[in-house]
Chains A and B, each alone.
Chain A
Amino acid sequence: MWKEQYNQKKVTAEEAISHIKSGDTVAVGGPGHAPLLLVDTLVKHKDDFRDVTLYQMDPREPIGYLAPGMEGHIHHVTSFCSANNRGAVASGQADFIPCFYMDKPELMRSEIRPDVAFIHVTPPDRDGYCSYGAIVSFIPGLVESAKYVIAEVNDQLPYTYGSSIHVSEIGCLVEVSRPAYTVAPPVIGEAECQIGEICASLIEDGSTLQIGIGAVPEAALKMLRGKRDLGVHTELLGEGLVELMELGVVTNKKKTYNPGKCTATIYLGSQKLYDYLDHNPRFEVLPVNYTNDPRVICRHEKMVSINACIQVDLLGQVNSEGINGKQFSGIGGQVDFIRGAAMSPGGKSILAFNSVTNKGISKIVPTLPPGTAVTTSRTDVDYLVTEYGYARLKGKSIRDRAKALISIAHPDSRAQLTEEFEKIFFKL
C-alpha cells in the first residue's frame, strides 16, 4: 500500500522544487544534517524564483544561498549562526531571530509558517515509516506547520528510534545516497583537561547529564570514566557519551525519568557514532520541545548540565552567543537546560570555559561591552568553571559573586578586575 505511494511520490530534485513558488517560505532543519541536494537545487534554479525566504538553523554544511547574486531571489532567516551565515547576519543581509531552542517548533507554527519543508530521512521501514535519522530537533514541528513536505530519502542515514514520519505524510521525495554529516573530534589541550576535571569533580554518581560537543565538554566526558551509573538526557549527543556507555559508566539505570535510555534531540559525530546508533534501542531521539522543556528536564533528579560560554561579567551575566556585538552562534538550549537543572532535585548547571581567549584576553570581564546580548542572566547562572577552579554564584551576594569570579579568572587579570569592579561598584 505505502509502497505504491512511495513510488508515485518519487521525483527528481528539479521536479521537487517546482512545488515552490516565488514569495514562498522554505524551512530546513538543523544544526547540520541538511537535505543538501534540495537546498543546492533551489540555489541552482534561483532565477526561477523571486523573494523566497529560506529558514535554516545552524547551517553547517556549505550553502550557496548567501553568495553574491542571490539578492531578490533567496532571503535567509536563521535562529542560530554558524561560520556559513555569521557574516550575512552581521551585515543585515540575513535575519536572525533570537529564540530558545525549546521554542523553535512554536516558532515554525506561529512565525515562520513555512510553505514548504525540506527534510532528510531514512528509507521507510516495512510499515512505511521513515526515521528522522540523526536529527529530530524542531523538524516534527516544521512538518506539522508546513503546507508541503519534500523529503530527501538517504539510505546512508542511521535508522534511529523515537521519532518518525510516514510516507503518506510526505508530499514528494527524492532519493539520495550520501554519507551522513560528520564532525571531527575536537583537539583537547591541557587547559580543557583541567576544566574537564573540575567539572567531573562536581558530578556525583547517579547523575543525569546534558553535555554538548566541543573541546571542553568532550574533555569533561573523558574525566568521567571513574563515575558510576550516569544517565543521559541531552540535546546533542556526540562521540564521548558513547564511549562512556561502552565503558559501562553511562547505564541510565538511575534516571528518574525515561530510565534505561539515552534521550537526545540531535546526534553529531563520526560515522562510527552513527553506526552505533543505527537500530539501537537504548537511544531515543525526540523533538526539542520535549527534550529541552525545563518541565521535562527537571523530572530528572540530579540533572547536571554542562555548556560553554564566551564571556562572563563580574555580576555573573553570561554571553554565550556574540563577539564584539556581532552574532556568533545562538541561544541554543543553554538556558533551557540551566532552568531545568535549577528545578531538578539535586540538580546543577555548569558553564565551563577557558579563562582566556586564544589571544590571551580574559573571558571574565568587569562589564559586558555595549550591544552584547546576555544569554544567561545573572539570576539563572549557577556554577562557572575555568581551568583555575569553580565559582558557585547561586545564592551569592554581588560582592561574593565578584570575588568568586575573580578567583577563577586568569591570575594575570585578577588585579585589574578587582580594580575595575571597585571603581564601578564598591570595595570588595
Chain B
Amino acid sequence: MWQELYKKKKISADEAVSLIKNGDRVSIGENVDVAPTLVEAMLRNKDRYRDVEIVHMLPIGPQEYLEPGMETHFKHHTMFCGAANRAAVNCGFADYTPSFYYNQGSITKNELRADVLFVQLTPPDKNGYCSFGTSASVKREAMESAKIVIAELNDQMPYTYGSFVHISDLDYIVESSRPITEFPPAPAGEVEMQIGEICASLIDDGSTLQVGIGAVPEAALKMLRGKRDLGVHTELLGDGLIDLMEAGVVNNKKKSLNPGKCITTLYMGTKKLYDYIDRNPAFEVLPVAYTNDPRVIAQNDRMISINACLQIDLLGQVNSETINGKQYSGIGGQVDFVRGATMSRGGKSILAVNSTTAGGKKSKIVPFLAPGTVVTTSRTDVDYVVTEYGYARLKGKSIRERAKALISIAHPNFRAELTEAFEKAFFKL
C-alpha cells in the first residue's frame, strides 16, 4: 500500500526544486541534517528564482547561497549563527531571529512558516515509516506547517528511534545516498582538561547530564570516567557520550524521567557515533519542544547542564553569543537547560569557560559587557561558573560576593585590574 504511494511521490531533485516559486520561503533543515541533494539542486537552478528566502539553523553543507552575487536570488533567515552565515548576519544581508531553542518549533510553525520544506530522513521501514535520523529538533513542526514537504530519503542516514513520519505525510520524495557530515570531537588542551576536572568534581553519581560539544564539554566528559550510574537528557549528543556508555558509566538507570534511555534532539559526531545509534533502542531522538522544555528538564532529578560561554561580567551576566557586539553563534539551548537544571531537585547548571582568550591577552571575565553585547543568560539565572582556576557559585550571592567569586577564578594577571574596575564603578570589595 505505502509502496504505491512511495512510487507516486518519487521525483528527481531538479523536479523537486522546480516547485519553488519566486518569493517563497524555503526551509532546508539544520546542522548535519540539511538536505544536501536538494540544496545542491536549488543552487544549480538559482537563475530561476528571485527573492527566495532560505531558513535554517546552523548550516552545515553547501552554502553558496550566501556568496556575493546571490542577493537577487536568495535572502536568508537563521536562528543560529555559524562560520558560514556569521558575516552575512552581521552586515544585515541575512536576518537573524533570536530564540530559545525550546521555542523554535513554535517559530517554525508561525513566524517562519515555510512554503517549501526540505527534510532529510531515512528510507521507510517495512511499515512505511521514515526515521528522523540524526535530528528531531523542529522537524515535526516544520512538516506540519509547510505547504509543500519534500523529503530527501538518504540510505546512509542512521535509523534512530523516537521520531518518525509516515510516507503518506510527505508530498514528494527524492532518493539519495550520501555520507552524513562528520563532526570529530574538538581536541582538548591542558586548560580544557583542568576545566573538565573541576566540572567533574561538581557532578554526583546518579546525575543526569546535558553536555554540549566543543573542547571544554568534551574534556569534562573525559573526566567523568570514574563516575557511576550517570544518565543523559541532552540537546546535542556527540562521540564523548558514547565512550562513557561503552565504559558503563552512562547507563541511565537512575534517571527519574525516561529511565534506561539517552534522550536528545540532535546527534553530531563521527561515523562511529552514527553507526552506534543506528537502530539502537537505548537512544531516543525527540522534538526540541520536549527535550529543551525547562518543565521537562526539571523532571530529571540531579540534572546537570554544562555549557560554554564567551564572556561574563562581574555582575554575573553571561554573553554566550556575541563578540564585539557582532552575532557569533546563537542562544541555542543554554538558557533552557540552565532554567531546567535550576528547577530540578538537586540540579546544577554549569557554565565553563577558559579564563582568557587571544593567547592569554584578554580576560573572558570582564568588569562590564561592552555596549551592544547580548546577555544570553541573566545574572539571576546563572549558577556555577567554572574556569581552569576553580568554580564560582553565584546563585544566592550578593553583588559583592559575586564579584569576589568571579575575580577569584579569573586569570591571576587580570585580578587586580578587575577589582579596581569594579570598585571604581560600584563600591569597595
User: Chain A interface: which of B40-48, B150-158, B366-374, B405-413?
Assistant: B366-374
- Measured CB to CB, the nearest residue on chain B to A331 is B380
Which residues of B71-114 are within 8 A (CB) of A?
77, 89-92, 95-100, 103, 106-107, 110-112
- Measured CB to CB, the nearest residue on chain B to A77 is B398
> Is B379 an interface residue when CB atoms closer than 8 A count as contact?
yes
> Is B343 an interface residue when CB atoms closer than 8 A count as contact?
yes
Q: Are B92 and A373 in contact (CB under 8 A)?
A: no
Known: A96-B399, A107-B396, A379-B335. A370 touches B371 (CB 8 A): yes
Interface residues on B, range: 35 or more
How distant is the Cα of A110 from the Cα of B348 in the complex, in angstroms? 14
Q: Are A373 and B317 in contact (CB under 8 A)?
A: yes
Q: Are A92 and B428 in contact (CB under 8 A)?
A: yes
Query: Which A residues are CB-close (under 8 A) to B375?
Result: 317, 374, 377
Which residues of B365-392 are within 8 A (CB) of A?
368-372, 374-380
How distant is the Cα of A224 from the Cα of B375 in the complex, in angstroms? 35
Chain B min CB distance to A88 (Å): 10
- Measured CB to CB, the nearest residue on chain B to A424 is B372
Which residues of A372-389 are within 8 A (CB) of B?
373-379
Query: Which B residues are CB-close (under 8 A) to A368?
Result: 371
Query: Which A residues are CB-close (under 8 A) to B110?
Result: 395
A397-409: CB near B (< 8 Å → 1, else 0) gives 1111000000000
Tell which of B100, B343, B380 touches A295, judged by Cβ atoms closer than 8 Å: B343
- Measured CB to CB, the nearest residue on chain A to B321 is A379
Q: Are A397 and B96 in contact (CB under 8 A)?
A: yes
Q: Are A343 and B371 in contact (CB under 8 A)?
A: no
> Is A165 an interface residue when CB atoms closer than 8 A count as contact?
no
> Is A167 an interface residue when CB atoms closer than 8 A count as contact?
no
Q: Are B380 and A396 in contact (CB under 8 A)?
A: no
Known: A96-B398, A395-B110. A370 touches B369 (CB 8 A): yes
How distant is the Cα of A335 from the Cα of B396 in the complex, in angstroms? 17
DSSP class of A's interface residues: helix, strand, loop or mixed? loop
How distant is the Cα of A230 from the Cα of B339 in the complex, in angstroms? 30
Query: Which A residues are CB-close (under 8 A) to B325?
Result: 424-425
For A, the interface residue count at a CB cutoff of 8 angstroms equals 53
> Is B425 an interface residue when CB atoms closer than 8 A count as contact?
yes
Tell which of A92, A100, A397, A424 touches B95, judged by Cβ atoms closer than 8 Å: A397
> Is A7 an interface residue when CB atoms closer than 8 A count as contact?
no
Q: Are B92 and A395 in contact (CB under 8 A)?
A: no
Chain B min CB distance to A58 (Å): 16
Q: Are B295 and A343 in contact (CB under 8 A)?
A: yes
Q: Are B315 and A373 in contact (CB under 8 A)?
A: yes
Q: Are B372 and A92 in contact (CB under 8 A)?
A: no
Chain B min CB distance to A344 (Å): 12
> Is A371 an interface residue when CB atoms closer than 8 A count as contact?
yes
Q: Are A371 and B368 in contact (CB under 8 A)?
A: yes
Q: Are A379 and B331 in contact (CB under 8 A)?
A: yes
- Measured CB to CB, the nearest residue on chain B to A396 is B97
Known: A98-B399, A317-B375, A379-B335. A395 touches B317 (CB 8 A): no
Known: A95-B398, A377-B375. A325 touches B97 (CB 8 A): no
Q: Are A367 and B372 in contact (CB under 8 A)?
A: yes
> Is A97 an interface residue when CB atoms closer than 8 A count as contact?
yes
Chain B min CB distance to A351 (Å): 15
Known: A92-B427, A96-B398. A399 touches B92 (CB 8 A): yes
Q: Are A398 and B96 in contact (CB under 8 A)?
A: yes
How distant is the Cα of A379 from the Cα of B378 in the complex, in angstroms? 11
Most buried by B among A327, A394, A399: A394
Q: Are A397 and B97 in contact (CB under 8 A)?
A: yes
Q: Are A379 and B400 in contact (CB under 8 A)?
A: no
Query: Which B residues are CB-close (under 8 A) to A339?
Result: 294, 339
Q: Are A295 and B396 in contact (CB under 8 A)?
A: no
Most buried by B among A298, A366, A425: A425
> Is B29 an interface residue when CB atoms closer than 8 A count as contact?
no
- Measured CB to CB, the nearest residue on chain A to B402 is A98
Query: Which B residues are CB-close (under 8 A) to A367?
Result: 371-372
- Measured CB to CB, the nearest residue on chain B to A111 is B396
- Measured CB to CB, the nearest residue on chain B to A112 is B396
How distant is the Cα of A92 from the Cα of B429 in the complex, in angstroms? 8
Q: Are B378 and A335 in contact (CB under 8 A)?
A: yes
Query: Which B residues are CB-close (under 8 A) to A110?
Result: 396
Tell which of A77, A90, A379, A400 touches B427, judged by Cβ atoms closer than 8 Å: A90
> Is A411 an interface residue when CB atoms closer than 8 A count as contact?
no
Q: Are B399 and A377 in contact (CB under 8 A)?
A: no
> Is B206 an interface residue when CB atoms closer than 8 A count as contact?
no
- Measured CB to CB, the nearest residue on chain B to A401 is B98
- Measured CB to CB, the nearest residue on chain B to A381 is B98
Chain B min CB distance to A106 (Å): 8
- Measured CB to CB, the nearest residue on chain A to B382 is A98
Q: Are B99 and A395 in contact (CB under 8 A)?
A: yes
How distant is the Cα of A89 from the Cα of B293 in the complex, in angstroms? 36
13 contacts between A and B (CB under 8 A): A91-B427, A92-B427, A107-B396, A110-B396, A370-B370, A370-B371, A371-B426, A375-B378, A375-B380, A379-B99, A394-B103, A426-B92, A427-B92
Enumerate chain B interface residues (CB-CB to A < 8 A).
Answer: 77, 89-92, 95-100, 103, 106-107, 110-112, 293-295, 298, 315-317, 325, 327, 331, 335, 339, 342-343, 368-372, 374-380, 395-401, 425-428
Q: Which 5 A-B pairs have the closest CB atoms?
A: A92-B427, A426-B92, A395-B111, A111-B396, A95-B398
